[in-house]
């Protein structure tokens, strides 16, 4: 409230909240990159192995991220599959 009043009088933007938000987003990303634990490496390999049984995957297109929050953490698994993945599998099945 006082901040808003000051802003009215000063006619200036409070830029601190923007700084805070940018930092929070950036750091949650950077921490993920730097602090990638063995757990994530293991998860990534095993997920890749399971999905690869059924769909041909580019290993680089499997991204596993863990975001640690205050109350809840999320495990994000992002797998990019080729458009014609189902055809290939069925073709292979026919051939097999």
Partner 1 sequence: MAKVLVVTSGKGGVGKTTTTAALGAALAQSGQNVVVVDFDVGLRNLDLVMGAERRVVFDLINVVQGVAKLPQALIRDKRLENLWLLPASQTRDKDALTDEGVGRVIDELRSRFDWILCDSPAGIERGATLAMRFADEAIIVTNPEVSSVRDSDRIIGMLDSKTVRAERGERVEKHILITRYDPARAARGEMLNIDDILEILATPLLGIIPESQDVLKASNVGTPVTLNNADSAPARAYTDASRRLMGEEVAMVVPAERKGFMDRLLGRRAA
Region for residue 5 given its phi and psi (left: phi exceeds 0; alpha: psi -120 to 50; beta: otherwise): alpha
- Token pair in block for residue 20: 């805070």
Torsion of CA 39, 28, 81, 46, to 10 degrees: 0
State the Cα–Cα distance between residues 86 and 52, nearest whole angstrom. 12
- Which residue of 1, 29, 30, 71 would you call a contact of partner 1, by CB under 8 A? 30
Question: Binding of partner 1 at residue 37 (CB under 8 A)?
Answer: no
Question: Binding of partner 1 at residue 54 (CB under 8 A)?
Answer: no
Question: Binding of partner 1 at residue 22 (CB under 8 A)?
Answer: yes
* CB-CB contact of 58 with 28 (8 Å): no
- Which residue of 29, 31, 54, 88 would you call a contact of partner 1, by CB under 8 A? 31
Question: Binding of partner 1 at residue 29 (CB under 8 A)?
Answer: no
- Which residue of 34, 50, 72, 94 would you call a contact of partner 1, by CB under 8 A? 34
Q: What is the CA radius of gyration of the chain?
A: 22
Question: Binding of partner 1 at residue 63 (CB under 8 A)?
Answer: no
- In the complex, the residues that contact partner 1 under the rule CB under 8 A are 3, 6-7, 9-10, 12-17, 19-20, 22-24, 26-27, 30-31, 34-35
């Amino acid at each position: 409230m006082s901040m808003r009043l000051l802003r009215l009088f000063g006619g200036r933007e409070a830029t601190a909240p923007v700084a805070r938000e940018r930092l929070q987003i950036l750091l949650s990303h950077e921490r993920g990159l730097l602090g990638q634990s063995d757990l994530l490496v293991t998860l990534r390999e095993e997920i890749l192995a399971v999905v690869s049984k059924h769909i041909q995957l580019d290993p680089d297109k499997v991204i596993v991220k863990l975001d640690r929050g205050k109350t809840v953490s999320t495990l994000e698994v992002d797998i990019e599959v080729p458009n014609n993945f189902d055809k290939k599998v069925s073709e292979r099945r026919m051939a097999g």
